[in-house]
Structure 1
């Protein structure tokens, strides 16, 4: 056994496990806890005929740990050291230490809550706080409390909030090991150097790598946010190496979606005399020893998928790592010798101490289904370091209920139990069950792996079509030649192996026409409809928006079912009907579906509604029958109005939208409104009676009272033109009010000529009397209304009814202005009578020739 720091505390670990069934171990990077500790427990008496299960957060770590531990024992993997990950199991009856990913333990607990064949469960790298680790620990603690008191639980990590975890384990003993054997020098950006942005990282990192290669020896591990940055950086470094004709250095990538062979190539030591640069995501942060690493370059960023419960979508975002992660990454340089870590941020930058637990930012649907199968409807009944957000829990419950996995009381149904047996997301499990009924299990298994695993298309090939991918997988399965220029054949074969474990029965033919239906069974709320023809923008059944790249193979499909999208809120190169840019999620994977398929296979999701709406363009009420799939209108037909009362109410809404002036007001009816409003505007003058409110706002608000009774059987503004609005409004006044109104604000006034002239009350402050000047001869004082308290504004008109003078003081007009006006009028209207003394002259509306007729 190697001389590792962990060896110093192994006796203490063994001693504590003899007397305590719960233990916490804190051991910094390089201590050897992952491989040395489990092996040291193989001969413990309490193990007997049982096994040790050790959980690792990633499949790569599982395989790597198993290989290293088997090598230390001089055995092959599958003997005393075995492993089990999704779709892959290497173990035997001899296996004493089984290394698994966290989801595997959950499956074992569900199958056997007592874990009868297990003596110890080790939670390695627990600081990463994946949702599966939190769930597995919660279930293990309950099993230990209720069924298996002798079950031992060991939680260990390189960096850990030990007080919180010890408290969760009811003050379990804590053992701390020394850290790495070799020092690591931390080098930060110079204060004068600006921190690179995510987009600048490839160029910045490749230049730094080139410089460090010249000044330092040993292999190099570079942490970058995601695959895109890794590929760009790798391209830039290889270009530099090619220019310098350097063949002693090779660059490899390390991330989760690579094949097993590619991952192993990145981990293994380079050939003798060669140097290696490994460009990795945070997959290389824990549980792996990449041989010969002496230099670490840390971008400080990590990509993570954050779930938004309000949209039901994941959003890929980059964020700065925690202090714990920075320590872990730097520790990779000190595993085998002294090393250096270049931190691409300033030394004074403040980092969070711990990583945010996944349970606080991920989709909880699968976890909640597991809890329902376990028998816990309330999450608070189990022990958690962090309770998940309420919004995410509500979303998960609603989705499980819609899928038929739980009932209204959150208890698991028979369908839900069957879903659990697939070990995939509840959406996909639901799809698999429904597909079996439709004899489409083979097609569904291909869809399932295409959604869960790495894409078979290269990133440069722009097509979101799942149907195409299913076709490619089927062709590869049948040995049919394909154009592999944009396809990862190795990954295709891996996916086919995975699909065969979901559905063993393979078929010689494949029903591509039903792929959209299968997707819709899993993602009913993501059935979407194109907003407009030749548009890249779609409206989803859940009222959210999404869009395709214009170069996408599925562009302009009328209906899509979307299984993979990123809710990053990009703006579309188009403008909505209200003039605002649509905010949408980018579609990564989808399939087209016909409207007829939606109506046939998803009819239980379709709701038909009869509705009345106002057509602003045609200014009429329209009755329509619409079939809705969520927020999407599938069918729409015009129909006869079913209820006069409902039509009348929508018609009133149309009037409110168009305004009161859209009604056919006559001079009398409009005058009545203005007279009432005039009187009400002068209430302070203490009139003899009160009057109703005829202002526009009040009339619009009270149309249900005064207008509704008169519009039965009418459905348009045009049909309302025959209404006698004067009669309708005057009907709101009593006889006394009408008499008082005529006295206070008469509709007409008799002038000196004997003519009855309308008074315009539209201006409540200055009612207007527009009258020919000749008809006012002999009128010395200005006429007034409201019991003589408000003088009329007199518009004195020419014989052609053109305004000649406006006055509210007739006496002054006759005395000071009339002579000038008279001169002008005598020149233009010679046939009319223009006396020198207007106060003694005869008022008339006639010409001189006709005055005495």
Structure 2
């Protein structure tokens, strides 16, 4: 067994570990309420590993997304004086790192749902810890597969009861009272105990009126660097905003030699992630630009100042594509509190909070319905329920999955729409039970429309093109930004352009295409092809069959004209 270092005073969570472990030992589960930065993810798993009564050899830690899994793995391994992949490993949809000595494994929420579906007995797993459950609910912008981990927690509790297992279940929350999760983990019996830890250091919040634009964020960052000491963490709504604000800062004169500038995008490589997590070099301080994913607690060191742009991305409904599409909206009080807390992890800090002037209306793209007025897209969750054997999704724990969700009528409508779509896709039968095709679809971990598109395309000998088309649909729906210009009339034309770029044909003949995002689409499509085992080449003539593939994903559209066209290639920022 690896020797875990003794507790450090910089982990406020240490004060409640005895009562927390007593609750786990006596009740088989617990909910831990503690503020961001208190050491929940970093300290609790390693301390729990030392307990002689742990009923298993391994601990799984479920986090909202792959970036959080990689970041926590790196921080925990560093604290143990090891390299990642020894005692501490991680597993995400895109990659993994573990070895024969690995005992604590961090998983993205989507990966845990796959594991509990495939191996519900959780053999030799002593505990499953759900980190930041506030960030794991359906509708949360900082979760790769919203609702996956909460549903996985319900499945784990059911499996433990059915198989007489002993795996401990611990949910760790930041802002909720924990009552709903305590009842969920308690199952048919009494709710599990809720253990509460004290807050961290105080943070002074300074409000700044701003219109929500990139220039306002850049000005606030420059102001913070000039007037305050310590590292700066700026929260921006998405990767596009990070690139734009970084360009504004560079155009304004860049930074002095004392500033370590780290743009931390959602798909950041190991270099930027390691630089953000590690302490700043002597004589330097950090400036980190991050998205709302960082709210989940990436453990970014040496931060005393937070600049909160006041915006976030939350699921809207893209009617044209029938997929969830994030829209930029005000972040809200809870998100503001979480972001501000990042400034008070190690000492008293400061948060510059950007808010619109009184009475200023909030803009929303006209092609998207307001998130609060439409039912959420529940197709992915309902398909997972069918794979688990739940044929009536109305019996699912929606009060936990959607704590601030739609009305009962809107929820019933959303469930009806999801079940109808799954039946049309061939994923479920008339009785709601999953079909063999549905079992293949659910294993891809994609929206059912995209899963049907890829599998159906592979059956037609068009698997490569189907992956490219699915990646294009997902990129536009997921980012809300343009890939090309208005000269691209439809998805068939855009697919041909992407194929030209991938194969090196007609280089430079598509000046309207955003090459950074085009290559991201191609890389995602290639990753799917490798993971699924699709080796069919993509020929340019195959692009003429794009409509045939789209019909597989959109059987609910009556006329061909209802199928999604290419994106409006003016980005949201230009509208």
**TM-score scaled to structure 1, two decimals?**
0.56
3-state DSSP of counterpart to 2:49: coil
Contact 1:500/1:506 (CA < 8 Å) preserved in 2? no
Deviation sequence 1:315-335 (CA, Å, 0-9, x none): 543333343322210111122
Alpha-carbon separation, structure 2, partners of 1:49 and 1:482? 56
Contact 2:42/2:75 (CA < 8 Å) preserved in 1? yes
Question: Structure 1 residue aligned with 2:449, among 427, 440, 457?
Answer: 427
3-state DSSP of counterpart to 1:291: coil
Quote the offset at 1:494 in angstroms.
Answer: 5.7
Alpha-carbon separation, structure 1, partners of 2:432 and 2:128? 30
Structure-2 change in CA distance of 1:430 and 1:482 (3 Å): same
Question: Structure 2 residue aligned with 1:341, among 340, 351, 368?
Answer: 351
Aligned to 2:27: 20
Quote the offset at 1:214 in angstroms.
Answer: 1.8
Question: Structure 2 residue aligned with 1:202, among 214, 217, 231?
Answer: 214
Deviation sequence 1:677-729 (CA, Å, 0-9, x none): xxxxxxxxxxxxxxxxxxxxxxxxxxxxxxxxxxxxxxxxxxxxxxxxxxxxx
Aligned to 2:197: 177
Alpha-carbon separation, structure 1, partners of 2:356 and 2:479? 39
Contact 2:232/2:304 (CA < 8 Å) preserved in 1? yes
Aligned to 1:58: 65
Q: How does 1:415-564 map to 2 (within 5 A)?
A: 415-452=437-474, 459=482, 461-462=484-485, 466-467=491-492, 470=495, 482-483=507-508, 486-488=514-516, 491=520, 492-493=522-523, 495-505=525-535, 507=537, 509=539, 511-525=542-556, 540=562, 549=568
Alpha-carbon separation, structure 2, partners of 1:36 and 1:330? 22
Alpha-carbon separation, structure 2, partners of 1:49 and 1:387? 28
Structure-2 change in CA distance of 1:443 and 1:378 (3 Å): same
3-state DSSP of counterpart to 1:303: strand
Question: Structure 1 residue aligned with 2:181, among 149, 165, 176?
Answer: 165
Q: Which runs of 5 or more structure 1 residues have no equivalent in the other structure?
A: 190-194, 350-356, 530-538, 553-564, 571-585, 587-853
Alpha-carbon separation, structure 2, partners of 1:145 and 1:49? 17
1:88 paired with 2:107, answer no
Aligned to 1:364: 378
Question: Structure 2 residue aligned with 1:323, among 333, 338, 348?
Answer: 333
Alpha-carbon separation, structure 2, partners of 1:100 and 1:392? 29
Which piece of structure 1 moves more, 264-273 or 47-56?
264-273
3-state DSSP of counterpart to 1:419: helix
Aligned to 1:236: 248
Structure-2 change in CA distance of 1:146 and 1:307 (3 Å): farther
Alpha-carbon separation, structure 2, partners of 1:311 and 1:500? 25
Question: Structure 2 residue aligned with 1:137, among 153, 156, 161?
Answer: 153
Deviation sequence 1:359-386 (CA, Å, 0-9, x none): x953111111111111111124344434
Alpha-carbon separation, structure 2, partners of 1:457 and 1:266? 27
Structure-2 change in CA distance of 1:10 and 1:347 (3 Å): farther
3-state DSSP of counterpart to 2:223: helix
Structure-2 change in CA distance of 1:548 and 1:345 (3 Å): closer
Question: Structure 2 residue aligned with 1:186, among 193, 205, 209?
Answer: 205
3-state DSSP of counterpart to 1:45: coil
Quote the offset at 1:528 in angstroms.
Answer: 6.8
Deviation sequence 1:799-818 (CA, Å, 0-9, x none): xxxxxxxxxxxxxxxxxxxx
Q: How does 1:718-797 map to 2 (within 5 A)?
A: none
Contact 2:312/2:331 (CA < 8 Å) preserved in 1? yes
Alpha-carbon separation, structure 2, partners of 1:481 and 1:39? 54
3-state DSSP of counterpart to 2:106: strand
Structure-2 change in CA distance of 1:69 and 1:347 (3 Å): farther
Alpha-carbon separation, structure 2, partners of 1:259 and 1:480? 28
Alpha-carbon separation, structure 2, partners of 1:526 and 1:262? 43
Aligned to 2:407: none
1:285 paired with 2:295, answer yes
Structure-2 change in CA distance of 1:18 and 1:56 (3 Å): same
Quote the offset at 1:439 in angstroms.
Answer: 1.6
Deviation sequence 1:405-433 (CA, Å, 0-9, x none): 11122121222122223222222222233
3-state DSSP of counterpart to 2:175: coil
Alpha-carbon separation, structure 2, partners of 1:162 and 1:127? 9
Deviation sequence 1:641-698 (CA, Å, 0-9, x none): xxxxxxxxxxxxxxxxxxxxxxxxxxxxxxxxxxxxxxxxxxxxxxxxxxxxxxxxxx
Contact 2:211/2:356 (CA < 8 Å) preserved in 1? no
Aligned to 2:106: 99
Structure-2 change in CA distance of 1:426 and 1:460 (3 Å): closer
Contact 1:188/1:346 (CA < 8 Å) preserved in 2? no
Aligned to 1:675: none
3-state DSSP of counterpart to 2:171: strand
Q: How does 1:534-613 map to 2 (within 5 A)?
A: 540=562, 549=568
Which piece of structure 1 moves more, 214-223 or 479-488?
479-488
Alpha-carbon separation, structure 1, partners of 2:494 and 2:125? 41
Quote the offset at 1:61 in angstroms.
Answer: 0.4
Alpha-carbon separation, structure 1, partners of 2:499 and 2:565? 29
Alpha-carbon separation, structure 1, partners of 2:244 and 2:103? 43
Higher helix content, 1 or 2: 2
Contact 2:465/2:538 (CA < 8 Å) preserved in 1? no
Contact 1:309/1:392 (CA < 8 Å) preserved in 2? no
Alpha-carbon separation, structure 2, partners of 1:407 and 1:457? 34
Aligned to 1:400: 422
Deviation sequence 1:208-263 (CA, Å, 0-9, x none): 32222222122211223334443433232222225xx8454364433425555555
Contact 1:84/1:99 (CA < 8 Å) preserved in 2? yes
Aligned to 1:294: 304
3-state DSSP of counterpart to 1:171: coil
Structure-2 change in CA distance of 1:264 and 1:460 (3 Å): farther
Aligned to 2:434: 412
Structure-2 change in CA distance of 1:211 and 1:241 (3 Å): same
Quote the offset at 1:314 in angstroms.
Answer: 3.9
Higher strand content, 1 or 2: 1
**TM-score scaled to structure 2, two decimals?**
0.81
Higher relative CO (Cα under 8 Å, sequence separation at least 6) belongs to: 2
Quote the offset at 1:154 in angstroms.
Answer: 0.2
Contact 2:33/2:173 (CA < 8 Å) preserved in 1? yes
